[in-house]
Amino acid sequence: MAGTFLNYPFDEELFMQAWAEEPDPKLTALLNSGVMVEDATIASQIQNDGNLYTIPFYNILSGDPANYDGQTDIPTSETSGDAQTGIVYGRTRGFTARNFVAELSGADPMAHIAGSIGRYWNKYRQTVLINILNALFGITTPADWKNHTAEDVSATADPALITATHLNDLATQACGDNKSIFRMAIMHSNVAKTLENLQVLEYWKQTDANGIQKPVGLASCNGYSVIIDDSVPVETVGGEGANKALKKYTTYLLGEGALRHANGRLDVPAEPVREAAKNGGQDTLYTRIRETIHPNGFSFIVPKSGWTQSPTDAQLAATANWACKFNPKAIPIARLITNG
């Protein structure tokens, strides 16, 4: 008889001793785009212990040269340096499977948990990544950092859509003659649709063994690789005016390796625990992560209150906890906000 038991569907005729995972529509294309890379230098500092790490760097040489005329002393400048700091965060989550579910239905919930845990954590990492990016754009010092945000939204019922020149304009505004450090644009499917309709976004094609070209799930626009991911921020415009139903879409312009990743020390990343008495018997898989996602060119500032040696999601997403350390022209992180 069809029905449910302990949140699992059960029908002997339809179940056929298999359990198919519900398709997950949430993509992690941003995380997988190459914008975040493993950093061996950071890893070497946190692989044994600790949660704060420091990445030193030299300041750019400066000063005016003197006239070399045989009678003028040569001026000198002492080299100097600075550092950016990052933070490790720890998270944990458990998932439980009741033995009676498997015995009744033939399902294997524990195998489903084990096979899905990697994707669960990847979706979480992408959320952290986006929250950190959004925090950076609230920084006001140095003043040039504001050039890394461009907003073109409508104050009327007519949406202000992305144009063929928006990405190039943003790259030039942010980094000027160094704009080639931008390599990819990550955008919502509705923004990509606008560029498709303008015929400036082109999907890459591959040729099969029969010589037939077929499009693949990657695209390019204005020389940038385009990653389409509906997980980017989307905000509904508020108020009671004619534009209240419009949405604001964030499109990121990024360079490869703009964010750095490393795993911290974690002695027990996962462990199964059996509880024989609870619910007639059940197994729980407990998982833990300790890692850092660090925007290159910025420092994390430990908050003065509410600190517990691992930053919360809110603390990672707070602009007050981040400071810009590089010259903004050297940072390949920018965002464009449009209505589509």
User: What is the helix (H) or strand (E) element at residue 44, kind and residue range?
Assistant: helix 40-46
Residue 5 has pLDDT above 50, yes or no: no
Integer Cα distance of 152 and 160 in angstroms: 6
The distance from CA 216 to its chain's CA centroid, rounded to whole angstroms, is: 23
CA distances from 256 to 163, 244, 329 (A): 24, 36, 15
Average pLDDT on 300-315 reads 95
User: Residue 209: helix, strand or coil by DSSP?
Assistant: coil
User: Residue 84: helix, strand or coil by DSSP?
Assistant: strand
Q: What pLDDT shows up at residue 14?
A: 38
Q: Of the ranges 140-149, 153-162, 233-242, 284-293, which one carries the lowest mean pLDDT score?
A: 233-242
Q: Of the ranges 61-75, 222-236, 321-335, which one carries the lowest mean pLDDT score?
A: 61-75
Q: What pLDDT shows up at residue 117?
A: 83
Q: For residue range 115-124, what is the model confidence (pLDDT) as tens digits?
A: 788 888 989 9
Look at residues 197, 235, 243 and name the one whose alpha carbon lies nearest to residue 335: 235
- Name the pTM for this structure: 0.83
Sign, CA dihedral 205-210-212-215, equals: negative
CA distances from 243 to 151, 190, 267, 337 (A): 16, 17, 53, 15
User: Residue 243: helix, strand or coil by DSSP?
Assistant: coil
Residue 7 has pLDDT above 60, yes or no: no
Q: What pLDDT shows up at residue 115?
A: 75
Residue 25 has pLDDT above 70, yes or no: no
Question: What does the mean pLDDT of the chain come to?
Answer: 85
Q: What domains sit in the chain, N to C, each tagged with a CATH number?
A: 29-57+84-338 (3.90.1690)
Q: How confident is the model at residue 204 (pLDDT cuts 50, 70, 90)?
A: confident
Decide the pairing of beta strands 149-152 and 247-254: unpaired
Average pLDDT on 260-271 reads 91
Look at residues 192, 228, 203 and name the one whose alpha carbon lies nearest to residue 33: 228
Q: For residue range 56-97, what is the model confidence (pLDDT) as tens digits?
A: 877 777 888 888 888 998 888 887 787 899 999 999 999 888
Phi, then psi, of 15 in degrees rounded to 5: -70, -40
Phi, then psi, of 125 in degrees rounded to 5: -60, -40
Q: How confident is the model at residue 313 (pLDDT cuts 50, 70, 90)?
A: very high
Q: What pLDDT shows up at residue 325?
A: 95
Integer Cα distance of 221 and 251 in angstroms: 13
Decide the pairing of beta strands 322-324 and 298-300: antiparallel
Angle, CA 50 vertex, CA 46 and CA 54 arms, to 5°: 65
Locate 257 and state its tokens.
Answer: 């390796």
